[in-house]
Chains A and B, each alone.
Chain A
Amino acid sequence: MSDVRIMTGNQAAAYGVKLCKVQVVSAYPITPSTSVTETIANWVERGELKAEYVRVESEHSVMTVCVAASTVGARTFTSTSSHGLLYMHEQLHWAAGSRLPIVLACVNRGVGAPWSIFNDQQDSIAQRDTGWIQIYCRDNQEIIDTVIQAYRIAEQVYCPVMVCYDGFVLSHTMMPVEIPDADKVGEFLPPYKPHTILSPEDPRNINPVIFPWQRRDAEGVLRDGYMDMRWKLQHALEGSRNVIVEVCREYAERFGRDHGGMLWTYKADDAEVLLAGMGSIATEATTAADLLREGGIRAGVVGVRVYRPFPRAEVREAFHKAPAIVVFEKDISYGYEGALSADIKAALYGTGIQTPVHNYIAGLGGRDVKANELAEAVRSSLAAIAGGNREQQTWLNCVTEL
């Protein structure tokens, strides 16, 4: 019996948390993520979700609570946006370094100065190198499903997972969402088993000072130095690709929805140009591709779902036949280009793929991006590529004169 309800992206995230029987939730309000944890607070106070809810005084403390609670064996959750995520930055590193399977819903929003409450993905992209898995959702159904998958992935590879979705565009927009059956979620998601548990029964000093080199413990066993531990985190992230794909596949089998593993494609097989993006801008690109096809240009879309670990092999496979690539993204790595564009190009290096890649920075701070504007951008890029311009960075719908 399917339970379909009309809900926002934030409600979808909250339902995912409830279904996963999260034990400790900590949060600090920030637009546009606030209603995720308001919804959860309501369930906790009404006794509909048996969880400890810690109403801390800052996002830095939020992630600290998640780290400490996870260390004693509790399944933990939080959500945040923008400056909240930036304020957590130190603790994001600490969570990943501790190898704790914390799940965070990042409701993507631009970062100041100056203040913007509106959507782009600069907040989570700026956390790229913290050691978190990052998954970008394209609609509300994918949000609820991805939260559930995120716990399976996190607790299997002992890495935290950031479930990212666009502020307002998804967080405050309603669509029909099927709520998975709670018992089936219980079967899909076994209880959290910590890799190490902090308890008086087995006293240990977790995360003390560590030297660059290996050292022997009291029994004479050689233990990791700092760098060896860092390699293990990198190895876990690299290895998490298989887990992400497998979890996505198993989820599809059990619940009938496949969100694409590392990335998804749309009309890509015969495409003469591939549009690429993450999150809702990739969804917008599918409409743009249809518009382009109506005009005789065989366009397709590659939606990068998992940004870290980066889908190196899948990107190579997805783009290897395309004569042209146009990347749309809501972030900028200042002094270089869009982060996704740079990563796609890097993934193609050494493969012999010499496809031109054009990069559009779009929708920063909530600036509207319409499908027909994406289509027009693709047309102009194809013309430029035909004229020999293989690489180009363009700020879409933006005044670019001094």
Chain B
Amino acid sequence: MPEKLFKVHKEEYMLPGNRACAGCGLSLAYRYVLKALRENTILTIPASCLTVLHGLYPTTSVAIPSLNCTFASTAASASGLVAGLAAMNRSDITVVAIAGDGGTYDIGIQALSGAAERGTDFIFVCYDNEGYMNTGTQRSSATPMGALTTTTPVLTKQQNKKDMMKIMEGHDIPFLATTSPSFPIDLYDKFVKAKRIKGTRYLQIATPCPPGWVFAPKDTVKIGRLAVETGIVVLYEIENGKFRFTGRSKTLAEKGTRAPVIQFVERQGRFKKMSLEQLGQLQRWVDHKWAECLKRAEV
């Protein structure tokens, strides 16, 4: 393990003193994302937790150039950057759009689908904290079944999470991957790889959110790990249509030692009103998705 850590780029692009919440899963992941992307990168980000992390005018906590854009427009903003840079003969720059699950699964999906269909040469990153956390934990289409949010405050979310990876895979893009801040080397490797590939690349980061998911900030890494251990989050990549388990999920797939979802659910206040029936549904949904992954890995 230590020798793998030594390969991580030493430069820090996320500077000390950012405005993320204590224990923010995004801030843990983002440090490695930026180390992998490095110089010659331009970011575009919509209104989201990341806007807050980047800081208030006229100071910023991030040493990579960033263009803030409106909520629905992230992938279109990236398209504009790509076109503008091409017009200025700056093909050496990687354009990276980073949005939350609201800005990806929901309000941003139209622009994202358009950009991916056009084969726009950029990386789209969704940091998925499973709700509108920047505005105070409202339901998104990425919120899991049984979770309390401020817009599902009594009955909990009644639907399963949208399968955004499948939607993006439907665009026949060259590279897709899932990542977790609890497995930073896996995450780092995937972003390094994504930077080398041309065309639309789509990466998701499953980012635990202490205030939104209701757990102690010290447990972020543990919660992220449990998400993977239980198969709620599966670490994999799809390169040119070929599915491959990676990291801890690969081990779980080989050994068949996936933990029950209750171990992930019971540690978070957002699931405190989840019914046993919902728990069963969530388990079956995870089992089904996991079986799909196993099947794809065999082919």
The CA of A301 and the CA of B64, in the complex, are separated in Å by 55
Assess the A57–B114 pair: CB atoms within 8 A.
Answer: yes
Assess the B57–A69 pair: CB atoms within 8 A.
Answer: no
Is the CB of A172 closer than 8 A to any CB of chain B?
no
Q: Which residues of B contact A198 (CB under 8 A)?
A: 42, 65, 67, 81
Assess the B87–A205 pair: CB atoms within 8 A.
Answer: no
Is the CB of A199 closer than 8 A to any CB of chain B?
yes
Assess the B56–A68 pair: CB atoms within 8 A.
Answer: no
Nearest-neighbour CB distance to chain B for A26, whole angstroms, equals 7
Is the CB of B274 closer than 8 A to any CB of chain A?
no
Is the CB of A58 closer than 8 A to any CB of chain B?
yes
Is the CB of A204 closer than 8 A to any CB of chain B?
yes
The CA of A90 and the CA of B69, in the complex, are separated in Å by 11
The CA of A209 and the CA of B55, in the complex, are separated in Å by 7
Q: Which residues of B contact A60 (CB under 8 A)?
A: 72-73, 76, 111
Name the contact of B73 in the complex, choosing from A69, A91, A199 (C-beta under 8 A).
Answer: A91
The CA of A64 and the CA of B75, in the complex, are separated in Å by 9
Is the CB of B163 closer than 8 A to any CB of chain A?
no
Assess the B77–A64 pair: CB atoms within 8 A.
Answer: yes
Nearest-neighbour CB distance to chain B for A248, whole angstroms, equals 28
Assess the B87–A24 pair: CB atoms within 8 A.
Answer: yes
Kindly supply a per-residue 1/0 record for chain A positions 203-227, scoring 1 wherever the CB is within 8 Å of any chain B CB and 0 otherwise. Answer: 1111111110001111001010000
The CA of A61 and the CA of B70, in the complex, are separated in Å by 10
Asked whether A74 and B40 contact (CB < 8 A) given A58-B110, A68-B80, the answer is no
With CB as the reference atom, state the residue of chain B lying closest to A61.
B76
Is the CB of B279 closer than 8 A to any CB of chain A?
no
Asked whether A204 and B56 contact (CB < 8 A) given A66-B80, A69-B87, the answer is no
Nearest-neighbour CB distance to chain B for A20, whole angstroms, equals 13
Is the CB of A56 closer than 8 A to any CB of chain B?
yes
Assess the B83–A203 pair: CB atoms within 8 A.
Answer: no
Nearest-neighbour CB distance to chain B for A154, whole angstroms, equals 16
Stretch in A47-55, A155-163, A363-371 with 4+ CB within 8 Å of B: A47-55
Is the CB of B238 closer than 8 A to any CB of chain A?
no
Nearest-neighbour CB distance to chain B for A96, whole angstroms, equals 13
Interface residues of A in 156-213 (CB under 8 A from B): 198-200, 202-211
With CB as the reference atom, state the residue of chain B lying closest to A223.
B58
Q: How large is the interface on B (under 10, 10 to 19, 20 to 34, 35 or more residues)?
A: 35 or more
Assess the A68–B67 pair: CB atoms within 8 A.
Answer: yes
Assess the B87–A215 pair: CB atoms within 8 A.
Answer: no
Assess the A73–B88 pair: CB atoms within 8 A.
Answer: yes
Assess the A215–B81 pair: CB atoms within 8 A.
Answer: no
Asked whether A56 and B114 contact (CB < 8 A) given A64-B76, A200-B40, A200-B65, the answer is yes
Is the CB of A70 closer than 8 A to any CB of chain B?
yes
Is the CB of A67 closer than 8 A to any CB of chain B?
yes
Assess the B86–A208 pair: CB atoms within 8 A.
Answer: no
Is the CB of A384 closer than 8 A to any CB of chain B?
no
Name the contact of A223 in the complex, choosing from B57, B60, B66, B79 (C-beta under 8 A).
Answer: B57
The CA of A24 and the CA of B80, in the complex, are separated in Å by 8
Is the CB of B185 closer than 8 A to any CB of chain A?
no
Asked whether A208 and B63 contact (CB < 8 A) given A64-B73, A64-B111, the answer is no
Assess the A215–B80 pair: CB atoms within 8 A.
Answer: no
Name the contact of A209 in the complex, choosing from B56, B84, B111 (C-beta under 8 A).
Answer: B56
Asked whether A68 and B69 contact (CB < 8 A) given A74-B87, A200-B93, A205-B62, the answer is yes
Assess the A207–B76 pair: CB atoms within 8 A.
Answer: no
Q: Which residues of A contact B87 (CB under 8 A)?
A: 23-24, 51-52, 69, 74
Assess the A65–B54 pair: CB atoms within 8 A.
Answer: no
The CA of A380 and the CA of B180, in the complex, are separated in Å by 75
The CA of A205 and the CA of B72, in the complex, are separated in Å by 19
Is the CB of B51 closer than 8 A to any CB of chain A?
yes
Nearest-neighbour CB distance to chain A for B184, whole angstroms, equals 23
Is the CB of A94 closer than 8 A to any CB of chain B?
yes
Assess the B80–A64 pair: CB atoms within 8 A.
Answer: yes
Is the CB of B12 closer than 8 A to any CB of chain A?
no
Assess the A215–B113 pair: CB atoms within 8 A.
Answer: no
The CA of A347 and the CA of B41, in the complex, are separated in Å by 49
Assess the A215–B111 pair: CB atoms within 8 A.
Answer: no
Nearest-neighbour CB distance to chain A for B199, whole angstroms, equals 16
Assess the A211–B56 pair: CB atoms within 8 A.
Answer: yes
Closest A-B pairs by Cβ, 10 of them: A68-B80, A69-B84, A57-B114, A61-B76, A65-B80, A64-B76, A23-B87, A72-B84, A205-B60, A64-B73
Q: List 9 A-B contacts (CB under 8 A).
A: A57-B117, A65-B80, A90-B72, A198-B65, A198-B81, A200-B41, A206-B68, A215-B58, A215-B59
B residues contacting A by CB (< 8 A) are 39-42, 44, 51-52, 54-60, 62-70, 72-73, 75-81, 83-88, 90, 93, 110-111, 113-114, 117-118
New contact pairs (19) apart from A199-B90, A205-B66, CB-CB < 8 Å:
A23-B87, A23-B88, A54-B79, A56-B76, A56-B79, A56-B111, A65-B76, A67-B77, A67-B80, A68-B78, A68-B84, A69-B87, A74-B83, A90-B72, A199-B65, A205-B57, A208-B54, A208-B57, A216-B58
A residues contacting B by CB (< 8 A) are 23-24, 26, 51-52, 54-58, 60-62, 64-74, 76, 90-91, 94, 198-200, 202-211, 215-218, 221, 223
